[in-house]
Structure 1
Amino acid sequence: MKFFRNCFFVVLISCFAFNSHAQNSTAADTGSKINFNQTDAKGKRDGMWYIHQPARMGEDSYSEFGSYDHGIKFGKWYKTDNDGELVAIETFKNNVLNGEVKYFDKGHLYCVGHYRGLNPSQKYDTVMVVDPVTGAQSLVSVLAERGSLKHGTWQYYDPLTGRLEKEQEYQVDDLVYSKEFAMASVDSAYYKKKVQMLPHNAASGHYYKPPAGKQHSLTGTSE
């Protein structure tokens, strides 16, 4: 889990910078000063930014941290939910998703995928595709206004055990391959044992019990 700890450390640094109103912070590894939440001469976001998005229109609040290049979102961006749990690590280029993305459920990895970002400065962009049967390569023209396309391998994991459950291959948003992986007997036994130990599973014997004298029935009478 070293990778997750490093991600969490990055988010903590960004939160500190935000709460300090983007004052100078000292990077522990280099000793250099880093300015957060800055703008360039034209008022465009530039450099490292921490952004908190309050809940709105039925969507939960979240925070994200990453870099801008004169108003253009690029590189890896880290997103956390309202509880500070890691939700996503996404890669951007020219303000659109491009490259590997990772998604998490309560901090546990459940999906790794790939996007192909389209060039927003052009009306059309071209993407190389491979025929899944013949292996022949060809270029496909796509409207750039579509932003990003699923393009490449997408893998889905059980967030509880880390077991690979499904693998898919996309080309220009089209699904060309899909395979589901059956659970091996040894994995099945491990999974069942882990599920039985969850606090909400009464079979584990570890579910929550109120202290004596604090137990109440639905009718309001003490048990």
Structure 2
Amino acid sequence: MNMKPVTAIFILISMHISQWSFGQCKTYKLNKKSDTINCTDFQNLKQGKWVTRVEENYGEPGYQEAGFYKDGKKEGEWTRFNLMGDVTAEEQYKWGYKDGICRYYNLMGLIREESWRATNPKNPYDTVRAYHLDNPDKYDLKIIKVDASTVKHGTWTYYDPQSGTITKTEEYVIDQLIPAKKAKMIAAKDSSVFKSPADSLAAANKKKPPEVLEWEKKHQKKKIKVRDGATGVN
């Protein structure tokens, strides 16, 4: 069979990439598209894309999660699903710790938006704003040593998932709850990228990896018992 040169080159490159990927892994799996996932390198460190599944155990609900590892630590965006395939969490990681905006859902929509800051293990110092107690609009920049691996830092927002309205906001600086102008924070959050709980869930569900979609397709007729619509995330 004759093969066009461009097609032949593409196949050879694809084979080379696949062999290179396998060569970096002590253990690995292949998904439906023959992509390498769940790679453990020869130093027994998790690398690249991972999709894991935890079954229900002793009354605790099971879940699936998908994201990336770098040298054995979570890195970038991780998405968690319940065993019915509904998104329950979107978390950001750096150096293996939560860093940035993390969102949590129940079956009705967005319930909480958290803000975290991870500490670089190689440089445990950070520059933070030290607000004046008599005037929350004024602050000084201070360099401090951060002992924790990750700390609450920024605005935490709590939602009514049915209406999408904000029920409470909190402002943190390196794990310290500080006074804040509640009305100003609410007005800022009203222009959030998520217009409603339904919109937030729709956006999150678009990120389902093919491994989760494949499992859902195989088990769509199987009824899975769940306790309630809570995320299971504190």
Query: Which residues in structure 2 correspond to 1:61-72 (within 5 Å)?
Result: 61-72=62-73
Q: Which residue does 1:187 correspond to in 2?
A: none
TM-score for both structures, normalised by structure 2 = 0.58
Instruction: Answer yes or no: is the 8 Å Cα contact 2:127–2:141 preserved in 1.
Output: no
- Shift of residue 50, structure 1, vs aligned partner: 0.5
- DSSP-derived class of the 2:29 partner: coil
Q: Kindly state the Cα deviation for residue 68 of structure 1 after the two structures are TM-superposed.
A: 0.6
What is the percent sequence identity of the aligned residues? 28
Q: Secondary structure at the match of 2:43?
A: coil
Q: Measure, in 2, the Cα distance between the counterparts of 1:112 and 1:129.
A: 21
Is 1:47 the equivalent of 2:48? yes
Tell me if the contact between 2:160 and 2:166 (Cα under 8 Å) persists in the aligned partners. Answer: yes
2:146 is paired with a residue whose SS is strand
Across the aligned residues of Structure 1 and Structure 2, the Cα RMSD in angstroms comes to 2.3
Q: Distance in 2 between matches of 1:68 and 1:171?
A: 28
Q: What is the 5 A alignment of 1:1-223? A: 22-26=29-33, 34-56=35-57, 58-106=59-107, 108-121=109-122, 124-132=124-132, 133=135, 134-143=138-147, 146-177=148-179, 179=182
* Structure 2: segments with no counterpart, 5+ residues: 1-27, 187-234
Structure 1 residue 41, shift from structure 2 partner: 2.7
Highest CA radius of gyration, 1 or 2? 1
The 3 A distance-change label for structure 1 pair 177 and 104 is: farther
Q: Which has the higher contact order (CA 8 A, sep 6+)?
A: 2
Cα displacement (A) at 1:59:
2.9
Q: Matches of 1:58 and 1:139 in 2, distance apart?
A: 45
- Contact 1:127/1:172 (CA < 8 Å) preserved in 2? no
The match for 1:218 is none
How far is 1:137 from its partner?
1.8
In structure 1, distance between residues paired with 2:108 and 2:119: 30
Summarize deviations over 1:7-59 as a string: whole Å, max 9, x none. Answer: xxxxxxxxxxxxxx832544xxxxxx631111223221111001112334653
The 1-side partners of 2:150 and 2:58 are apart by 24
TM-score (norm 1): 0.61
Q: Deviation digits for residues 75-119 of structure 1, max 9, x if unmatched? A: 000011233221110000011111111111115111112101112
- State the distance in 2 between where 1:63 and 1:177 align: 38
